[in-house]
Amino acid sequence: MSCFYLSIEKNREAFELYRVLWNAQGIEGLLADTMTEGIERAIEIERSGADELFFIDIVADDIDFMPQLKILSEATGAPILIATSRYDEIEREEALNNGADAYGAYSEVSEQQDVNGVIAVVNSIHQRSKKQKKPRGVLVHGDILIAADSHAAYIKDKELRLSKAEMDIMRYLMINRGNILPYGRLLEEVYGGGEATPDTIYSAMKRLRKKTRGLVPFDYIQTVRGIGYRLVTKSE
């Protein structure tokens, strides 16, 4: 079984420096430069069963991590550590309340001291078996992230303010991404039939497209004329 740590940050030079030190510990480093990408990678590792995610490190200097921190905590059982050069007690309290396991400043002595400190913290967390969560209710593909349990949706780390019906539609499209979903199937799955009509779906799709416009250079939601809709994550 391979052992990894995941660093969510934008400073590749710093990541490469620390990765050498972690490799000496037998732990391979992975880099993600957005929270959405980090959540997707964490889920992939934990679901593989063949690899171990030792911990997740978020560099607070580079990443606006707080909006999606709770989702990351819901999606993984790995310890989450927040590292910063600008320690803030209010931010620390909020981070710990939203799923982080530790929050602290970089060592001013050496990078190796940072690594030794992280190992001590992570080993302590693992010994306490504090986090036993498994991925649930979180769907990530491409730039899209849906967290049904938290009623949250993001595209490229930009939060979408969705109604319950819009969230249900996006979640169902994500589960069946790439497949054509007929109007009747969407009506049944999202609205449970009832008095909803194809116009109900049409109006909801129009609102979703309006909310995602400008975030990507193409429409994620494609209309299949006369049949229904499908979700794509790249221009076709």
**Is residue 35 a contact partner of residue 7, using CB atoms and an 8 Å limit?**
no
80-84 and 102-105 strand pairing: parallel
Transcribe 137-184 into DSSP letters. SEEEETTEEEETTTTEEEETTEEE---HHHHHHHHHHHHTTTS-EEHH
Q: How confident is the model at residue 216 (pLDDT cuts 50, 70, 90)?
A: low
CA pair distance 74, 68, nearest whole angstrom: 10
What number is the average pLDDT over the span 204-221?
78
Smallest Cα–Cα separation from 231: which of 160, 146, 163, 112? 146
Q: Which residues contact 106 (CB under 8 A, 6 or more apart)?
A: 83, 84, 85, 114
80-84 and 138-141 strand pairing: unpaired
Q: What is the predicted pLDDT for the residue at 42? A: 92
For domain 2-128, give the CATH superfamily.
Answer: Response regulator (3.40.50.2300)
CA pair distance 27, 54, nearest whole angstrom: 8
pLDDT tens per residue, range 66-102: 999 999 998 888 999 999 988 999 999 999 999 999 9
pLDDT tens per residue, range 79-89: 999 999 889 99
pLDDT tens per residue, range 149-180: 778 888 888 888 888 888 888 888 888 888 99
The residue extents of the domains of the chain are 2-128, 163-231
CA pair distance 207, 44, nearest whole angstrom: 31
Candidate CATH numbers 3.90.1150.10, 1.25.40.10, 1.10.10.1100, 1.10.10.10; the one for domain 163-231: 1.10.10.10
Triad 160, 165, 171: Cα angle to 5°: 65
Q: How confident is the model at residue 217 (pLDDT cuts 50, 70, 90)?
A: low
Q: What is the predicted pLDDT for the residue at 193? A: 66
CA pair distance 46, 39, nearest whole angstrom: 11
CA pair distance 186, 208, nearest whole angstrom: 15
